[in-house]
């Protein structure tokens, strides 16, 4: 099932969810300030490694805390800027961050699994080929987002569950170690 990994080259795009993949997720809450943003173990070194392999690294994140009024868009921009600067300081890169502030029940919203954030990324980076893209996420909607675009799906989970994915990893550090075997 993971044979696709041996085909990865510099034309591939890595899409990443944020909370639960890059930083510690706050369950039943939202990361609404820089002091609440904590990188998960191995993320910074993994992003440095991924920067050499992938043409583009794109973060796509649902952020309904904005829609609920728990945080402002400026607070999210500060958090994203902090994240991107820390990644850059550690020799990694994030080419763009796309977020959706919409509430779950808002009609025609941009939240994953809807593909609007990926379409925005493709508009900004026309060379993105979804058939040569990987989505790494920790939710069923992340995997559905990948399905809706024909991407490969890597699910971050420490539990056995019924979410369909091409590969399961405990985090980005494990993905890095697996990729080292294939590249």
Of the candidates 6, 16, 9, 13, the one whose C-alpha atom is nearest the C-alpha of residue 171 is 16
Task: Please state, in angstroms and as integers, the Cα–Cα distance from residue 99 to each residue in 22, 74, 91, 96, following that order.
Answer: 14, 13, 24, 10
Q: Give the CA angle between residues 92, 150, 174 to the nearest 5°.
A: 40
Q: Edge to edge, what strands does the sheet with 167-169 contain?
A: 96-100, 56-62, 13-16, 133-137, 152-156, 167-169
One of 17, 95, 138, 142 is an active-site residue; which one? Answer: 17
Whether 17 is catalytic is: yes
Question: What does the block give as tokens for 22?
Answer: 């890059």
129 in catalytic set: no
Residue 14 pairs in a beta bridge with 57, 134
Instruction: Catalytic residue, from 3, 9, 19, 142: name it.
Output: 19
Active-site residue set: 17, 19
């Amino acid at each position: 099932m993971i044979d696709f990994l041996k085909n990865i080259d510099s034309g591939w795009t890595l899409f990443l969810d944020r909370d639960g993949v890059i930083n510690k997720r706050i369950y039943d809450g939202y990361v609404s300030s820089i002091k609440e943003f904590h990188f998960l173990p191995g993320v910074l070194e993994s992003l440095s490694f991924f920067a050499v392999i992938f043409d583009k690294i794109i973060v796509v994140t649902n952020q309904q805390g904005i829609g609920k009024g728990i945080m402002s868009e400026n607070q999210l921009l500060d958090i994203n800027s902090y994240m991107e600067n820390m990644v850059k300081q550690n020799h990694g890169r994030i080419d763009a961050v796309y977020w959706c502030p919409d509430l779950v029940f808002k009609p025609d919203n941009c939240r994953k699994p809807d593909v609007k954030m990926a379409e925005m990324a493709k508009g900004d980076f026309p060379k993105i080929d979804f058939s040569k893209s990987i989505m790494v996420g920790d939710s069923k909607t992340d995997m559905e987002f990948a399905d809706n675009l024909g991407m490969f799906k890597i699910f971050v989970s420490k539990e056995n569950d019924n979410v369909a994915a091409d590969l399961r990893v405990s985090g980005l550090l494990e993905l890095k170690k697996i990729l080292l075997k294939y590249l």
